[in-house]
Amino acid sequence: MPNSPSDEGRPSGAPRRVKMQRRGPLLVEGPVEVELEDGTTVYSDRFRVALCTCRRSRRYPWCDTSHRARSTGPSDDPPPTDG
């Protein structure tokens, strides 16, 4: 939330940095408050949080790297071959 105690040290009006990755979570400089589709709010006071964009996480909306364990289609790297 703007002007909350968690924003101390951040210049007034300074943008919050969000880092997008092609096949990974959305990295957001924290602390963050996330409003979910059902209207509930979750909060993290970490300096950076990873938000799940694939919805495979058991800790949604926080990323637990579940996206690494599953293939999403033909754009993924081919599996290693023996020999």
**Helix (H) or strand (E) run with residue 27 in it:** strand 26-29
Say whether pLDDT at 2 is over 50: no
| pLDDT tier, 15 (very low <50, low <70, confident <90, very high otherwise) | confident
> pLDDT tens, 20-75?
888 889 999 999 999 999 999 999 999 999 999 988 899 999 999 887 776 555 55
DSSP 10-72: SPTTPPPPEE--TTSPEEEESSEEEE-TTS-EEEE-SSEEEE-SSS--TTTTB--SGGGTS--
Query: Whose CA is closest to 36, among 1, 6, 63, 60?
Result: 60
